[in-house]
Amino acid sequence: MILFPSSSATVSALVLPSPLFVQIQQLKDGFGLALAVLFMFGFFWGVIKIWSGANAISKGDPDGKAGIVAGIIIAAAATIMAALFSIFGLQDAVITPRF
């Protein structure tokens, strides 16, 4: 029940059915699992890009620096996005990756 401070009347709160909450939670858990797999794949891909960029630099290729920067951005994408969401006040929109 919700009590309004300006009057003594009470109003029953809108209560959604329990199965709807369960389905929403299952959907959120599914997105969290998919996000964790995506971040894990992106992290390993970023590390491989960093290694290939370092290897290219050691062979004298000037484009190796771009590969290292791209690898860092790919590997740190989850952290970069979390920081941007926090800066712009969108913490409630973040889904935590979980296994």
**Residue ranges of the domains in the chain?**
39-99
- The answer to pTM > 0.75 is no
Alpha carbon distances (Å) from 62 to 15, 45, 54, 68, 72 = 62, 21, 10, 11, 17
pLDDT, one tens digit for every residue, the chain (99 residues): 455 555 555 555 565 557 777 788 788 888 888 888 888 898 999 999 999 999 999 999 888 999 999 999 998 888 888 788 888 887 777 677 776
The interaxial angle of helices 18-58 and 64-75, nearest 10 deg, is 160
